[in-house]
Structure 1
């Protein structure tokens, strides 16, 4: 069962670090995806595959939100330039869609690998009801 709390925490960590990472282009975003995926996997716990899954979801969510923000920015820029700008931004939209899908895959894969490591470092597995089992 997916621990959405872990996914959202990983996504938020990756987003905040990605914004701060704009000071170091490329490296900052790579580190943000890795750390966010690791956090998602660690919070979810449960081993390698569970960490991989939660890191994958956190990274994919980050990639989709990033692609959406880029698309909104280009759409608004085209809208301000009038009809010619709208045509140009519409044509550019297809390229942006392809770029957003590619970025989502890259962010999801790097976050998934880091999430697997996080899940491996936190082997405590929640029980089937979705909350942590009491430890006696």
Structure 2
């Protein structure tokens, strides 16, 4: 039964992904795009090397990009260092934010701000 479901998802992605816009196109990132099979499992299509250990899904959920080493991942890319993309908010340095929710690697906050993760 699993084989049938995956085959259906691949068929759907092949017919639908060609009409989907590039969903995660960014001036600083590659031209990867999310595909329906991956999105339906709660992931995003990113380069395999950017997916943290243990966060990669079943192979083949980004079928149109698989030959370019793009796979479905259940996490943000390792190189993503923007506060808002990590679910955070740039706050004044004096604002209260628990230490475990600080994202110190954020590169989009001002010098007098810190990144506090709001969605965890």
Bigger CA radius of gyration:
1
- The structure showing larger relative contact order (alpha-carbon pairs under 8 Å, at least 6 residues apart) is 1
More helix by percentage: 1
Same fold (TM over 0.5): no
Scaled by the length of structure 2, the TM-score of the pair is: 0.31
Scaled by the length of structure 1, the TM-score of the pair is: 0.28
More strand by percentage: 2
